[in-house]
Chains A and B, each alone.
Chain A
């Protein structure tokens, strides 16, 4: 589904990713852990198509096609979703209207029929129940005045409605209390399916207790330095990131 090979990326002339390689199969959940400044969010941003990064080397393929030439909206229509670490407040843009426009823009781009407001409402009702999200939030501006937890849950709600093939969760656990964390995890788990993949970027192991990953990668200094099963996350939690510091990056698969 997603194949990243030897990705080098810099911002303002400073190299952040230094030969990152990663391969994700449909149905899998991969976690990317790493210390602050390792390049975790950069990876999410580059995959979603944020401006300002220079790709100096390497390739990214999504479902067998080059990803990096696509505009952010083309990536979305192709089935890629980024849950933001800091979801943006957009006062004046109604949450529901925004989400319906987004879904219909994606459907249109894929040559599918757009949903009318009744069909959309039905979809929203279904998805809301999973997330314990107050439906009052739907009528507000996008993330306008939402608490930290509400913003993160709104990201997962958007993901549930947009039904991407690959969802990247960028530190979705940061700033969440234990209840909110559980709701978010439930939302994610409800969406797990054999043809959907997740890339969970996180600093702490906590989230991975609720969302069990198939593979855990450790990202340090712009490279994957260690990959393993869920137990790797536990080892990290125990020993800290210093533990992986001196390890050598595995060869590109």
Chain B
């Protein structure tokens, strides 16, 4: 039995409902090296660690949030921070809540490989709950902010379970920020369930810039109804270990999912993004554009899984994953996996790992740019394509700025 799971389970002894769900997790334990889904993200070191349960939101410096406008919902160390949240400007029809749905068996996470989603499903007490009624088109983007704050050197763990629900024809822009208030080594485990109703549109951005010592697990589980459109972009820029499992099920005809992202692993960072896109209904489409970069001793793991189920005729699926290996001790593992059970589909996938174009760098330098400036310019250009899909110019620029700031930091 792992120290990790033991420590996570403690504190729930008196909670019969959650305890029952926990037992199953404890019994199965963590996925081992033989699990294909965890092959490139070993949990051996994490398995030996112990985390205390986060029980309150500590005070943080509010200036950290000054660039994030309302409406915003803020969580610190896994707990809602009402004083920092501000729901002004949110459409009156939108229901928001904080109470995570009750613990209980959820078949979707019954697999041993889904251990963290299962933990979040069973242990989370809080989470962002948003319900946009049918036909409501929400104007202002909703910001949800997750701050990891240092707390007297303690190593804390928390679990969140979010639910975002868009009714028929509803529209919402959701921007997820993951920020650091002081270096810490916490474990942040979250599950976000998303349901986009017929003809609904969800724009979703996530900026993960966690503490260098932090561990983060996130499972996004989205279901798209007929002609729904889910468009998201992820920036993976922080954390010691950050794994995101992005599962999208296109269950309604003509549903569309666009998921783009940038993964930038510097230092000793380990960033793992695992896509599971499942085309179930007819004429559904997906566009997946991911760029990875690793430098220092950083490691990027990317799994682009697309499954086209029997009957999902007319599916159009495209995956592009390009990577830059910027240092001799960095590592990138990419694995596009396309499984097709239907006829008449169009599917294309490609993954490459290369190095910075030295000829281009020389060209830039002959024009007067320093080697550092040249590298920043080239790496920035490399990340531009996934971000160019973001329609909102304010958001796109903000995302570009985050990436540039990160690249400048990496370039020293």
Asked if residues A84 and B363 are in contact (CB atoms below 8 Å), the reply is: yes
Q: Taking A73-B371, A88-B359 as contacts, is the C-beta distance between A81 and B377 under 8 angstroms?
A: no
A91 lies within 8 A of B368 (CB)? no
In-complex Cβ contact of B381 among A73, A76, A88, A91 (8 A): A91
**Interface status of A181 (Cβ within 8 A of chain B):** no
**B363 pairs with A87, CB closer than 8 A:** yes
| CB–CB A105/B360 < 8 A | no
Q: Chain A residues near B367 (CB, 8 Å)? A: 76, 98-99, 102, 158, 162
Separation in Å of the B382 CB from the closest CB of chain A? Answer: 7
Residues 90-106 (chain A) with a chain B CB within 8 angstroms: 90-93, 98-99, 101-103, 105-106
- In this complex, the interface size class of chain B, counting residues with CB under 8 Å from chain A, is 20 to 34
Q: Mark B334-375, 1 if CB is under 8 A from A, else 0.
A: 000000000000000000000001111011111111110100
Tell me which residues across on chain B come within 8 A of A91, comparing CB atoms.
381
Which of B357, B360, B365, B367 neighbours the largest number of chain A CB atoms within 10 Å of its CB?
B367
> Does B385 make an interface contact (CB < 8 A)?
yes
Q: Are B378 and A90 in contact (CB under 8 A)?
A: yes
Contacting residue for A92 out of B365, B369, B385, CB 8 A: B385
Select one of A49, A90, A93, A103 contacting B366, CB under 8 A: A49
Closest B residue to A83 using CB positions = B366
By a CB distance below 8 angstroms, the chain A residues around B297 are none
Interface size class of A (residues with CB under 8 A): 20 to 34
Given known pairs A90-B378, A92-B381, the reply for A102 and B360 (CB within 8 Å) is no
On chain A, the residues within 8 Å of B366 by CB distance are 48-49, 72-73, 75-76, 81-82, 84
Q: Are A92 and B384 in contact (CB under 8 A)?
A: yes
A253 to B90, CA, bound (A): 81
Kindly provide the distance from the CB of B148 to the nearest chain A CB, expressed in whole angstroms.
32
Residue in A48, A82, A92, A101 whose CB lies within 8 Å of B373: A101
List chain B residues, Cβ under 8 A from A76: 365-368
Q: Is A49 within 8 A of B365, CB to CB?
A: yes
Which residues of chain B are within 8 angstroms of A102 by Cβ–Cβ distance?
Answer: 364, 367-369
User: Do A101 and B369 touch across chains, with their CB atoms under 8 A apart?
Assistant: yes
* B377 and A106 contact, CB distance less than 8 A: no
If A90-B378, A92-B385 touch, does A162 touch B364 (CB 8 Å cutoff)?
no
Cα separation A82 to B364 with both chains bound (whole Å): 11
User: In the complex, how many angstroms separate the beta carbon of B85 from the nearest chain A beta carbon?
Assistant: 37
Contact B368 A103 (CB under 8 A): yes
Chain A residues within an 8 Å CB radius of B370: 71, 73, 105
Q: Mark A42-84, 1 if CB is under 8 A from B, else 0.
A: 0000001111000000000000000000011101110001101
A73:B369 contact, CB within 8 angstroms: yes
Q: Is A121 an interface residue (CB 8 A)?
A: no
A75 surroundings in chain B (CB, below 8 A): 366
Is there contact, CB below 8 Å, between A77 and B385? no
Closest chain-A Cβ to B400's Cβ sits at a distance in Å of 11
B368 and A105: CB pair below 8 A?
yes
Contact B378–A50 (Cβ < 8 Å): no
Of the listed residues A72, A76, A88, the one surrounded by the most CB atoms of chain B closer than 10 A to its CB is A72
The residue on B at minimum CB distance from A97 is B377
Question: Nearest Cβ in chain B — how far from A96, in angstroms?
Answer: 13
Residues of B within 8 A of A109 (CB): 368
For A71, the chain B residues whose CB sits under 8 A away are: 365, 370-371
Distance, CA A98 to CA B367, complexed state (A): 9
With a cutoff of 8 Å between Cβ atoms, the chain A residues found around residue B384 in the complex are 92
- Nearest-CB distance from B365 to chain A (Å)? 4
B368 with A51: CB separation less than 8 A: no
For residue A37, give the distance in angstroms from its CB to the closest CB of chain B.
21
Residues in A whose Cβ lies below 8 Å from that of B357? 88, 90
Q: Which of A48, A50, A88 contacts B360 (CB 8 A)?
A: A88
A230 at the B interface (CB under 8 A): no
Interface string of A26-47 (1 = CB under 8 A from B): 0000000000000000000000
Instruction: Write the chain A residue with the least CB distance to B382.
Output: A92
Tell me, in angstroms, the Cα distance from A101 to B377 when the chains sit together.
10
Hey, what's the 0/1 contact readout for B370-412 against A, CB within 8 Å counting as 1?
A: 1101000110111011000000000000000000000000000
Is the beta-carbon distance between A88 and B363 smaller than 8 angstroms? yes
Known: A90-B381, A105-B369. A98 touches B362 (CB 8 A): no
For A109, the closest partner residue in chain B by CB is B368
Q: Measured between alpha carbons, how far is A3 from B370 in the docked complex, in Å?
A: 25
Interface, chain A (partner B; CB < 8 A): 48-51, 71-73, 75-77, 81-82, 84, 87-88, 90-93, 98-99, 101-103, 105-106, 109, 141, 158, 162
Query: 30 pairs across A/B with beta carbons < 8 Å?
Result: A49-B365, A50-B362, A71-B365, A71-B371, A72-B366, A73-B365, A73-B368, A73-B371, A76-B365, A76-B367, A76-B368, A82-B366, A88-B359, A88-B360, A90-B360, A90-B378, A91-B381, A92-B380, A92-B384, A92-B385, A93-B378, A98-B367, A99-B367, A101-B373, A102-B364, A102-B368, A102-B369, A105-B368, A105-B369, A105-B373
Residues of B near any A CB (own CB < 8 A): 357-360, 362-371, 373, 377-378, 380-382, 384-385
Beyond known contacts A92-B380, A92-B384: 9 more, CB 8 A cutoff: A51-B358, A73-B369, A73-B371, A84-B363, A88-B359, A90-B364, A99-B367, A103-B368, A162-B367
Give 6 nearest A-B pairs by CB, closest first: A92-B381, A102-B367, A106-B368, A72-B365, A76-B368, A88-B363
